[in-house]
Amino acid sequence: MLESKIPWDLDKPTLPNGQPNPSFEAFSAAKKKMYDAHRKEYEAVFHDVQPLAENDIAAWCEELKGSRNVSAPLLRTLLTSGKNGGVESLDLQQFARNVALQNREVAELQLPPTVSLKGIALALARRGFSEFGKSKGLEPEELEARLATPEGQKLLAQSASEIESELKRTARDAASSYIQSIKSTSDAILGLSQDMAIDSCRAGKCDESLLRRWAAVWLKEKGGAARDGLADLAGALVNPITLAVLLDDETKVVLEERAIKLDGSMRYRYATSFVQSSGGAIGIGADPNDPGNQVRTLDDLTAIANRNLSVIAQRYRPVASVERYARIAAFLRWALLAEKAGTLGAINLSALGTIRPNDAGRAPTPDAIAEK
């Protein structure tokens, strides 16, 4: 726990215990260089984005017509009619469909992306009849046969119509509450465009066109000086995975005067995801020279941390303790494998008999620390 406080704090002048940090200046510069490199990758997406203009709105509204995003109909209404247009200006059919598609029960039906609100209602009605048939012990074939009759078709259509009306009523109430809560139409448009951009981010990739639309609204509302913040916003959305991992190097086992001596060290590896813009999306990508590799080692950070690791271990005991634990773990791994291979008879650990396996005082476990 205490060792894990170290890797990303090596840009601070002191270690957690107040001792001087030997990596401070070099690590600070390398960390800034890493973030600057990420910013350039995102800035490339936004460098030519202009503030949203009035003549852009009509084209944007047309694009929003077919969107499955729950915010799209609300955003379209605010762009065309503003808050004063109210629910009457809302494409309720589309909004109710988008709201319904967010429902877990509807998602389980695995309907096609282009499904209409009527299609959703019919699928829900069919599922309702199916569950009713099961409760009555009807076989699926028998239920389908009954639904295929004129009377069955009438009941199915009636049920679907009632479900559709309920979906519309629910959506209308939600839209009305939202529109009434709006204090600033421009802030609401910015928020909805941001929601759509965020919602487009799946598995480390974001829709580039939605990011650019959001950026255009951002620049319109915040002014040109806000352009510097766009790269940071995009980086927060794409959220590339950046990690520091402490790895153990080879451990050597030496017998000295009937005692086991373990000799080994550890090393840090700093790594991040490749960021790639292609096919209308920006997000986590792969090495251009090795498509199977999505991890890029941050060589400067890795080298600086490892160059000073021995000094850090001397000055900050938790790092030295973890290194010692790693050597012991390596020895036990070797012993288990050697025993399975038949190359090890036994190891006499009787000298450890006087040591308590659980000593909350001398070696408290994380849960004991948390309780304090």
Same domain? For 183 and 209 the reply is yes
- Of the residues 187, 217, 238, which one is the last residue of a structural domain? 238
What integer is the mean pLDDT of 293-304?
92
Residue 48 lies in a domain: no
Asked if the structure places residue 310 within a domain, the reply is yes
pLDDT tops 70 at residue 366:
no
Domain of 83? 54-238
Number of domains in the chain: 2
201 versus 150: the higher-pLDDT residue is 150
Work out the average pLDDT over 93-121. 91
* pLDDT at 196 > cutoff 80: yes
Do 194 and 58 share a structural domain? yes
Q: Tell me, what's the pLDDT at 158?
A: 95
pLDDT at residue 367 greater than cutoff 70: no
46 is a domain residue: no
Model confidence band, residue 370 (pLDDT cutoffs 50, 70, 90):
low
User: Which of 238, 268, 289 is the endpoint of a domain?
Assistant: 238
Same domain, 198 and 341: no
pLDDT, mean of residues 277-295: 82
Q: What is the mean pLDDT of residues 223-250?
A: 77
pLDDT the model gives residue 280: 81
Six-digit token string for 80:
């065309």
Query: Helix, strand or coil for residue 245?
Result: strand
Least confident of 69-73, 150-154, 231-235: 231-235
Domain boundary among 238, 263, 286: 238
Does residue 106 sit in the same domain as residue 230?
A: yes
Question: Do 190 and 326 have their domain in common?
Answer: no
- Look over the chain and give the mean of its residue pLDDT values, rounded to a whole number: 86
Pick the closest to residue 245 from 276, 221, 266 (CA basis): 266
pLDDT value of position 6: 86
Mean pLDDT lowest for which of 232-236, 241-245, 289-293?
232-236
For 18-61, the pLDDT digits (tens) are 999 999 999 999 999 988 887 777 777 788 888 988 888 988 98
The sign of the dihedral angle between the CA atoms of 27, 28, 33, 38 is: positive
Same domain, 87 and 16: no
- Tell me the C-alpha to C-alpha distance, in Å, between residue 366 and each of 1, 2, 178, 371: 8, 10, 45, 9
Mean pLDDT is lowest, of 54-68, 331-345, 347-361, for 347-361
**For residue 2, what pLDDT is reported?**
65
pLDDT for 129-176, tens place per residue? Answer: 999 888 988 888 888 898 899 999 999 999 999 999 999 999 999 999
Residue 354 DSSP code: T
Residues 6 or more apart in contact with residue 274 via CB below 8 angstroms = 284, 285, 286, 287, 293, 294, 295, 296
- Asked whether residue 17 is domain-assigned, the answer is yes
Tokens of 97: 């469909």
Angle at CA 195, nearest 5°, toward 119 and 58? 75
